[in-house]
Amino acid sequence: MALRTAGSVLVVFLWSVAVVLGQDGWSVTYTPQSICTLKGSTVELTCSYTYPRGTVTSTFWFTKNDAEGNPVSLSDDPDYKARVTYHKDNKNDCTLRITDLRESDAATYKFRFITDQTGGRFTGNPGVTLSVTDLQVQVTPYSVVSAWKTLTCATCVLTGDPTYIWYKNGQIVTDNTSPYSVYPDAADSYSCALKANEDLHSPAVCVQDQSCNRVTYIDKSICALKGSSVDISCTYSSYHPIKTTFWFRSDKSAPEDLTRDPEYAGRALDSLPSTLRITDLRESDSAEYKFRFNSQISGWGYSFPGTTLSVTDLQVKVTPAAEGQKTLTCSTTCTLTDNPTYIWYKNGQRLDESTSQQYSVNNSYSDSYSCAVKGHEDLQAPAVCVRGESCMNVTYTHQSICALKGSTVDISCFYTHPSWHNVTEVSWFNKWESGVTKDLSQDSEYTSRVKYHRQTDKDSTLKITDLRERDSTEYKFRFKTVNAEWGYTFSGTTLSVTGLQVEVTPATVTEGQRVTLACRTICTLTDNPNPSYIWYKKGQRLTNQNNSLIINPVSSEDAGRYSCAVEGFEDLPSPEETLTVKCEDFYCILY
């Protein structure tokens, strides 16, 4: 058998010797015995096996045993399960594919199969040794009398005749083999990659001076929870004085400072020049992010890979286990970056005895379960019934809502309960102390502004009119039955109420310059994340419908009072902001 590659797979053979170990017709054949491949790539480990009689009932790969000494299938290992697949082309093939390789994946992998015969279990030893490495550029003098330098793209010793790609200051300069000779310049940095694996390039290095042009990202990829915050960081240097810096998404048609992007309004900020912080993460934020700097001579940031962000929510998956038991897995679409601790909830109440990604429970018709990550307890997975569909459960339509000050908002949920539990009371609340809540319909601050309504006997909607900024808080639904109640500890829906604000940049401009007026909110409107805007000058409507009103060049005639509104909410405009235009010897202010 041969090792095969799929997609962006880089595989290096250290030994190409087939290993066949077995007895009495039992055997596993691995080809090769050792593999070295790039961090972040995909690899396939292949083998074939034989057995004298019977039928194979189970096959799997493993690297370690559990506490009782039993091999743990990689498909059940939380470190691997989202990244491994088993497949075969023929009856006795055994192929393991691992994606998004990490340095921690370096291990010896073994294949095990079980038949329906007494004692029919066999593990193929010694297995396949996998090494995982990064690319690194090594710099050495060309000769003792020459200023030229020799660059080597260092990794495992590759077989065949691989093609290397070399980058100078983040731009591709040549397809070549390693080593590569250059005449150094203090401003230049170099990096390398393998053809067809350009996304797995080495860090850039200075050839002559440590202040060359380069950007190094702290993480190539990050997986973060929907609704949480993330810091995307890099280090950088420039040989020439830097004029401007900003972060941008690589999938945009042109680099745009994310802090000025309406889609990230109130959520993206430069906590440091080299760190982008994004709050209230959404699945649509999943993208590649890059850092750009501009100097008087050149810029950096277009072609080199940045940091890829994947945003995931939590889901509880239920699988059968032993008789009368289920195994619950707190599942994500990508592996969370910080190796988190998990928290489990039963019927909305926290369980303190389990902190792992999996949790075993006994079947119960009335119980629901959910999970969260420690430090992000407000971002729980939707609760699921372990058995049946009528357990105790509340599911909110939104975990968070952003709405305009003065508008109306609907906060909704669905709830279930066992059929033999009769509901005796339902209510919404936003204040609770020691288990005591106050029904919003009885709260003097809300009583004239809230209504409860429903479409079925399993849903409830809280409507709040004439929203105020102090309404920004978390709202929860509670129901009681004869036998139980729900609503205290589980997260509800967090409401953020925002007004509109006109931001003028720069605050004062001279005739002939460019000025930008932006209509800002503290959060992105839930019901209309990309709204059309209406602009007013001295109360008169303008034709512009974008988030930003750009005047270039500005003249004294443009001076005046400006305000904005969201289309459909013209009765909720922003306060007016005065644009001042400086003339040669005086200020031109029109009212």
Residue spans of the domains in the chain: they are 12-133, 136-212, 215-312, 315-391, 394-497, 499-588
pLDDT of residue 467: 97
Counting residues of the chain whose pLDDT is more than 90, the rounded percentage is 37
pLDDT of residue 322: 67
In this structure, how many other beta carbons lie within 10 angstroms of the beta carbon of residue 224?
24
Report yes or no: 36 and 133 within 8 Å, Cβ to Cβ: yes
How far is it, in rounded angstroms, from Cα 484 to Cα 251?
50
How far is it, in rounded angstroms, from Cα 320 to Cα 323?
8
Which phi and psi (to 5°) does residue 159 adopt?
Answer: -90, 175
**Residues in CB range of 269: below 8 A, 6 or more apart:** 259, 276, 277
What's the sign of the alpha-carbon dihedral 374, 376, 377, 383?
negative
Q: Residue 591 above 80 pLDDT?
A: no
In this structure, how many other beta carbons lie within 10 angstroms of the beta carbon of residue 99?
17
Name which of 144-153, 210-219, 264-273 the model is least confident about.
Answer: 264-273
pLDDT tens readout for residues 467-489? 999 999 999 998 888 777 776 66
Domain spanning 394-497: which CATH class is it, in words? mainly beta
Conformation bin of residue 491: beta by default, left when phi > 0, alpha when psi is -120 to 50: beta
Closest CA to 474 of 488, 484, 460: 488
Cis before residue 506, ω within 30 degrees of 0? yes
Report yes or no: 483 and 527 within 8 Å, Cβ to Cβ: no
Distance of CA 161 to the CA centre of its chain: 36
The yes or no reply on domain 499-588 and CATH 2.60.40.10 is yes
How far is it, in rounded angstroms, from Cα 225 to Cα 115?
42
Give the number of C-alpha atoms closer than 13 A to the C-alpha of residue 528, restricted to the C-beta side: 13
The CATH architecture assigned to 215-312 reads Sandwich (2.60)
Closest CA to 203 of 246, 156, 255, 151: 151
Q: Which residue did the predictor score with more confidence, 36 or 277?
A: 277
How far is it, in rounded angstroms, from Cα 521 to Cα 262?
9
How far is it, in rounded angstroms, from Cα 387 to Cα 318?
9
The mean pLDDT of 381-398, rounded to a whole number, is 82
Q: 126 forms bridges with which residues in the sheet?
A: none
Q: Do domains 12-133 and 394-497 have the same CATH topology?
A: yes
Domain spanning 315-391: which CATH class is it, in words? mainly beta
Q: Which residue did the predictor score with more confidence, 70 or 586?
A: 70
pLDDT of residue 472: 96
How far is it, in rounded angstroms, from Cα 75 to Cα 354?
21
Domain spanning 12-133: which CATH class is it, in words? mainly beta
Conformation bin of residue 267: beta by default, left when phi > 0, alpha when psi is -120 to 50: alpha
How far is it, in rounded angstroms, from Cα 8 to Cα 32?
20
Q: Tell me whether strands 221-225 and 307-312 are parallel, antiparallel or unpaired.
A: parallel
Domain spanning 136-212: which CATH class is it, in words? mainly beta
Q: Residue 21 above 80 pLDDT?
A: no
pTM of the model: 0.67
Q: 299 forms bridges with which residues in the sheet?
A: 294
Q: Residue 14 above 60 pLDDT?
A: no
How far is it, in rounded angstroms, from Cα 326 to Cα 242?
58
The gap between the terminal CA atoms of the chain, to the nearest Å, is 83
Which phi and psi (to 5°) does residue 260 adopt?
Answer: -110, 0
DSSP string, 8-54: S---EEEE---EEEEETTEEEEES-SEEEEETTS-EEEEEEEE-SSS
Which phi and psi (to 5°) does residue 497 adopt?
Answer: -105, 125
pLDDT of residue 506: 86
Q: Residue 12 above 70 pLDDT?
A: no
Most confident of 80-84, 211-215, 447-451, 457-461: 447-451
Q: 148 forms bridges with which residues in the sheet?
A: none
Conformation bin of residue 471: beta by default, left when phi > 0, alpha when psi is -120 to 50: alpha
Q: Residue 294 above 60 pLDDT?
A: yes
pLDDT tens readout for residues 492-543? 899 999 999 999 988 778 888 999 999 999 888 998 888 899 999 999 999 8
pLDDT tens readout for residues 280-289? 899 999 999 9
How far is it, in rounded angstroms, from Cα 447 to Cα 426?
16
pLDDT of residue 158: 59
Q: Tell me whether strands 171-176 and 275-278 are parallel, antiparallel or unpaired.
A: unpaired
pLDDT of residue 19: 41
Residue 579's SS3 state is: strand
